[in-house]
Each structure stands twice: as structure tokens, then as C-alpha cells.
Amino acid sequence: MKLAILGAGAWGTALAISFSPRHQVTLWGRNPQHLDALRREHANARYLPGITIPTALAIEPDLEAALRNTELVLIATSTNGFAPTLEAVVKHRTAPPLLWVCKGFETSTERLPHEIATAYLGAKARIGALSGPSFALEVAQGKPAALTLASRDAKFGSQTAASLNGPALRIYSSQDLVGVELGGALKNVMAIAAGVSDGLGLGNNARAALVTRGLAEMVRLGVAMGGQPETFMGLTGLGDLVLTATGDLSRNRSVGKRLGEGTKLDTILAELGHVAEGVFSARAALNLARKYSVDMPITEAVCAVLFEGATPVETVRRLLSRDPKAE
């Protein structure tokens, strides 16, 4: 399959490396100097240090050339970069089959990625989300991982999942696009909470409680918005939550951990060097919780720390002082 991957950060590069042995892959990015370095050094030193880019992987600075005759386009930008990239794509291609791997809400509109894609490509476009528990570095290293490809077009979803499926990167299909996208967005918020707990030194028991109750919040909002409860028990819900809330490679857990240790958010984000989608998703998640009348106390607590000047210690104290309820 001829595949164009748009976005030469950690995730886009990792997927390009993973798919290149079985597909004709072209990697495109917005920064020509960055692409020149990738081509010259056969490495993405900024995002994937120590990983070699195979010579079979084409690196193309011209978007029109990257899209020419492609059978599938995969966008690997941040959620806030998704709409501008789509806008550029439709200038060269009319509604190409398209996947995305961003997890979150668009900050200015609070739209999920499928809503953005539909606005640009139309309701009948063959589109889908590729999501699941996966750190880019481990995928680039060829270590085993499993993802879910969610599309409301069952034929497109199952056929594309089968085409992309490989010995190390296993791809499953789903029709629950809303549930899969919400799982990917909300787990980042819960990972920040788990990181705060770790930064405060509250222990493994506290982290397990946060992950479990965080999952309950994800399910409540997901079902209210039309997702299927079983989706949140799978790869893109529980699986991604466990990875992101416990893994040392998790950006969102790292943000929470440093907040718990007393570092200011502005300093953390300036030094991170990568996008932590949970910071952008937290406010949107809370607004949606209020819109759908869903109780999400952990999300409220994360927003209080991120945006309202609440200290992690007092926020945890408020969470622990809530009246007990049936699970």
C-alpha cells in the first residue's frame, strides 16, 4: 500500500518506521530543515534518539508530492495541528482515505478529531482513528504493541486494519469511533492525576485508586456521549490508561509528577519539548462533563491544579474528603 504519513514528530516517525517494511511509506512534515536532518542523518534525534530511519522510507518536504497517488493518508500531528493539516491536504486531494493518531480535543472548539475530519472531508469520507496503548519509542524499536482502528465505515475499518496489521504492531478494528476517541483523550487527564499522586509520594495504592476511579469517569462521560461501555474496557480505554498513568515514557504522567513535586506548569511545558495533550484536554473534558451532567471529580481536581492555582496537596485533600458512595 502507498501510504503518506503527515507529521514528522515522534509518533509519525515511529509509525513510518514500523510500516515501511511492508508498505511504500512517505513521511512529510512542516519543517523543511527538520526533514533535511532526518534524510541526512537517517535519524530523528530530537524525538526518537538512537533510532535509525530505514533508507526505504521516503522523506518528502513537498506536501503535494507526498500525497500523489497515495492509497491512505495518516495524520500524526497534535490535535490542535489536525485541522490546519487537513486544510492543506484538501487543497491537493479530494477526500482521501484518512486516519489520524492524535488524542484529544481541539482547544478552540473542543471538537473531537472525527468532527474536524467530517467538517473538511464530508460525512461519507472513509476516515478513522488509530489509537491504543503505545509509546512511540517502543514502536520505533519494533517492540510489540496493539492498537485499535475505529471507523464508522465497517468495511473500510476492517480492511485497513488488516492491511496495516503486522507481526509487532497488531491492529484491531472497531466501529465505536466516539468511544475510542474519548478513551484516548480522557486517559491523558487521568494520567496527569496519577502523576500528581506519584509526585506527592502517595504510593502505589493511591495510584491504583486514581486509575480505577478515573476509568469510571471515562466510562460515564463516554456512554453519555454515545460511546460503548465495552470500548473503555479495551485497548483504547483501560489499556491506554494503564500505560499512560504508569509508564515512565508518558508525557502526561511526567507533567503531573512534576506538578506534584512543586514545579510550575509553565516551566514544565517549556522544558518538556513535546505536546502533553492532557493539559489541553482537561478543560474540554470538564466542560463536556457539565454539559452532559456527568460527575467527574478527578477531572475537576486536575483542572483546579492546572488552571485555578490550587495546590496538589489541598486538591488531594478535597478529593479524599468527598462523601463515600457505592462503587
Cite the residue boundaries of each domain of the chain with CATH code 3.40.50.720: 2-175
Of the given ranges (25-29, 128-132, 214-218, 322-326), which has the lowest mean pLDDT? 322-326
pLDDT at res. 320: 82
Cell of 47: 524525538
The pTM for the full model equals: 0.95
Give me the chain's average pLDDT, please: 96
pLDDT at res. 272: 86
- CATH superfamily membership of 2-175: NAD(P)-binding Rossmann-like Domain (3.40.50.720)
Cite the residue boundaries of each domain of the chain with CATH code 1.10.1040.10: 178-320
On the question of pLDDT at 195 being above 80, the answer is: yes
Q: pLDDT tens, 35-51?
A: 999 999 999 999 999 99
Q: What is the architecture, at CATH level 2, of domain 178-320?
A: Orthogonal Bundle (1.10)
What is d(CA 165, CA 152) in angstroms, rounded to the nearest whole number?
19
Do residues 297 and 322 lie in contact, with contact meaning Cβ atoms separated by under 8 Å?
A: yes
Amino acid in position 132? G
What is d(CA 21, CA 14) in angstroms, rounded to the nearest whole number?
12
Active site residues: 187
Do residues 260 and 285 lie in contact, with contact meaning Cβ atoms separated by under 8 Å?
A: no
What is d(CA 308, CA 303) in angstroms, rounded to the nearest whole number?
7
Do residues 239 and 12 lie in contact, with contact meaning Cβ atoms separated by under 8 Å?
A: no
Cell of 66: 507526498
